[in-house]
Amino acid sequence: MSALLVKELRERTGLGLLECKKALKEAENDIEVAIEALRKSSGMKAAKKAGRIAADGVVTTRIAEDGSFGVLVEVNSETDFVARDENFLGFVSTVADSLYEARSADLEAIKSGPIEASREALVQKIGENIGVRRASLVTADNGVVGGYVHGNNRIAVLVELRGGDQDLARDVAMHVAAVNPQVVSPDDMPEELLNKERDIFTAQAQESGKPQEIIEKMIGGRIKKYLAENSLTEQAFVKDPDITVGKLVKAAGAEIASFARFEVGEGIEVEKVDFADEVAAQLNG
């Protein structure tokens, strides 16, 4: 078996020395047959790893130079170690570029073809489950889209402004990354969420033993405070707490239309496994 042939197969597949030697031997040194077999094997191994929870990873953005639109994407790995791997980050860039070029957040469109093949090959090479979890497309109507990605790629935000410029949108996106508002303005707060908070505040206020009219005022005050704390326009701007985000944007002749915020792993339930139990399970096959 030629060492050059093994070297070529490793370069073309990114797989380990022993696996490439084995594939070439089984393929009787036909490199194309070996590659096809390794791809099939990669797909099967990727399928086996697909059930494992991938709650780490990175988020990233792509924004048009003219601010007309932007895409936001989260790609998950199982560990932070892999999330910093150059091969993994290269795959994330490929996914983000593909969505940007398509001006789309449709993940179904990339779950086949070259990107899916790259994902399966990466799973094979790295040995962890990797998944493209979610994406968002934000477009600007009579305004701009700006964004911010936190230094460690754990939080990313896109903000759409009516009016204004990308620098202002980036400042607002930075605020959203840091403070995590739920909605743009108090009017956007879902009624069911408000009702839930109102029930909690009511139960708390009734324990005070105060007259009903006082209780109603207490509840109203708490709701008002809740809306102010969780609405982007009402929050104190992180770079200048003396002004609200709403007033900052209004002073620039702009208005906040929407925002999208991704934080790595949010909403994913990670199963807690006892280390001793995990080792025992592996030993038992």
Q: For position 126, what pLDDT does the model report?
A: 82
**Is residue 280 in some structural domain?**
no
**Is residue 283 in some structural domain?**
no
**Is residue 237 in some structural domain?**
no
Residues 125 and 259 occupy one common structural domain? yes
pLDDT of 48 over the 50 cut: no
Percent of the chain whose predicted confidence (pLDDT) is above 70: 86
Gap between the Cα atoms of 216 and 221, Å rounded: 9
Nearest in space to 97 (alpha carbons), one of 114, 82, 83: 114
Q: Which whole number is the average pLDDT over 144-157?
A: 95
**Is residue 167 in some structural domain?**
yes
Q: Whole-prediction pTM value?
A: 0.76
Q: What is the CATH number of the domain that holds 34?
A: 1.10.8.10
Q: What is the CATH number of the domain that holds 77?
A: 3.30.479.20
**What's the pLDDT tens digit per position in 59-107?**
999 999 999 999 999 999 988 989 999 999 999 999 999 999 999 999 9
Q: Which domain holds residue 120?
A: 56-179+253-263
Specify the number of domains making up the chain. Answer: 3
**What's the pLDDT tens digit per position in 205-234?**
777 778 888 888 888 888 999 999 999 999
Nearest in space to 98 (alpha carbons), one of 79, 121, 76, 73: 73
Residues 166 and 28 occupy one common structural domain? no
Residues 89 and 132 occupy one common structural domain? yes
What residues are paired with 136 via a beta bridge?
72
Q: For position 63, what pLDDT does the model report?
A: 98
**What's the pLDDT tens digit per position in 12-21?**
666 667 778 8
Four-residue CA torsion sign, 268, 274, 275, 277: negative
Residues 124 and 26 occupy one common structural domain? no
